[in-house]
């Protein structure tokens, strides 16, 4: 029996990057997966590659109707959802003094409100499933500050905090809720950053989506006594800069 036999997963932002990697990793280990995104062509292509165990739905995470539709599609295609990955996210750059307030609201709407809506509309299905796991994708920007991405940082601190509330509210329903905090990972989101962004880390390279997927699979399947917890996967970025001190 495969590790994820009987798992029905719903992944937001699954059309590319880390979300697509999670979909591939879960299906490879026996899960049935609904991929949701606003990039319909890319999302459909991911689902088609994965065959009968995957299904694509148009899911704008800011839309309550889309979330309701995604959960309904998952239930009719595969059954109640017992794994939710709130992965959809965007980043916008600009100092607080310069950022257009509408851009700030947009980042919060997708990254934070989208995660709230995902939990809000999926938990009833998870209760029908008899329990499950929710994994919210935060960031190292949910643990430390970064200049020029104030909206993103606010949203990811929010995701980290809300994860703890959800874990407290849902533990008695057999639902574990955790956050993942990636450092720089090589995806379309980081295309224009380049490897230099990771050069000062103890592991001086960008991470690959599949490395995050391996962690996510462990959290979902094996970390059965963990909830409300923060899982950092960042090449050591959060340790801070390496300062050259005398060696003797």
Ligand X SMILES: NC(=O)c1ccc[n+]([C@@H]2O[C@H](COP(=O)([O-])OP(=O)(O)OC[C@H]3O[C@@H](n4cnc5c(N)ncnc54)[C@H](O)[C@@H]3O)[C@@H](O)[C@H]2O)c1
Euclidean distance between CA atoms 167 and 193, whole angstroms: 34
Q: Minimal distance in Å, beta carbon 6 to ligand X?
A: 26
- The vertex-80 CA angle with 75 and 85, nearest 5°, equals 100
Give the tokens for residue 31.
């899960």
Q: Check: CB of residue 207 under 8 Å from CB of residue 19.
A: no
Considering the rule CB under 6 A, would residue 19 count as an interface residue with ligand X?
Answer: yes
Site string for ligand X, 62-101 (x = CB under 6 A): x------------------------xxxx-----------
* Interface with ligand X (CB under 6 A), residue from 124, 131, 188, 204: 188
Instruction: Yes or no: say if 233 and 217 are a contact pair by the CB < 8 Å rule.
Output: no
Nearer to ligand X, 28 or 90 (CB): 90
Please give the positions annotated as active site. Answer: 152
Closest CB to ligand X among 16 and 176?
Answer: 16
Q: Which of 53, 108, 189, 233 binds ligand X (CB under 6 A)?
A: 189
- The only residue of 38, 57, 149, 219 in contact with ligand X, by rule CB under 6 A: 38
Site string for ligand X, 108-147 (x = CB under 6 A): --x--------------------------x-x--------
Could you list the residues that contact ligand X (CB under 6 A)? Answer: 12-13, 15-19, 37-39, 59-62, 87-90, 110, 137, 139, 182, 184-185, 187-190
């Amino acid at each position: 029996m495969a590790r994820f036999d009987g798992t029905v997963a719903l992944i937001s932002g699954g059309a590319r990057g880390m979300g697509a990697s999670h979909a591939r990793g879960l299906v490879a280990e026996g899960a049935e997966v609904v991929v949701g995104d606003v990039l319909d062509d890319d999302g459909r292509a991911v689902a088609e590659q994965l065959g009968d165990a995957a299904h694509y739905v148009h899911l704008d995470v800011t839309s309550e109707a889309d979330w309701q539709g995604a959960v309904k599609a998952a239930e009719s295609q595969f059954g109640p959802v017992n794994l939710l990955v709130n992965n959809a996210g965007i980043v916008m750059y600009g100092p607080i003094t310069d950022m257009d307030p509408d851009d700030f609201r947009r980042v919060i709407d997708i990254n934070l409100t989208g995660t709230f809506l995902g939990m809000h509309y999926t938990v009833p299905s998870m209760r029908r499933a008899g329990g499950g796991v929710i994994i919210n994708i935060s960031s190292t920007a949910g643990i430390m500050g970064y200049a020029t991405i104030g909206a993103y940082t606010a949203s990811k601190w929010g995701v980290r905090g809300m994860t703890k509330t959800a874990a407290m509210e849902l533990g008695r329903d057999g639902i574990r809720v955790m956050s993942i905090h990636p450092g720089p990972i090589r995806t379309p989101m980081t295309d224009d950053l380049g490897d230099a962004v990771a050069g000062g880390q103890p592991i001086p390279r960008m991470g690959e989506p599949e490395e995050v997927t391996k962690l996510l699979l462990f959290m979902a399947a094996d970390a059965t006594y963990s909830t409300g917890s923060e899982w950092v996967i960042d090449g050591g970025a959060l340790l801070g800069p390496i300062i050259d001190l005398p060696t003797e």
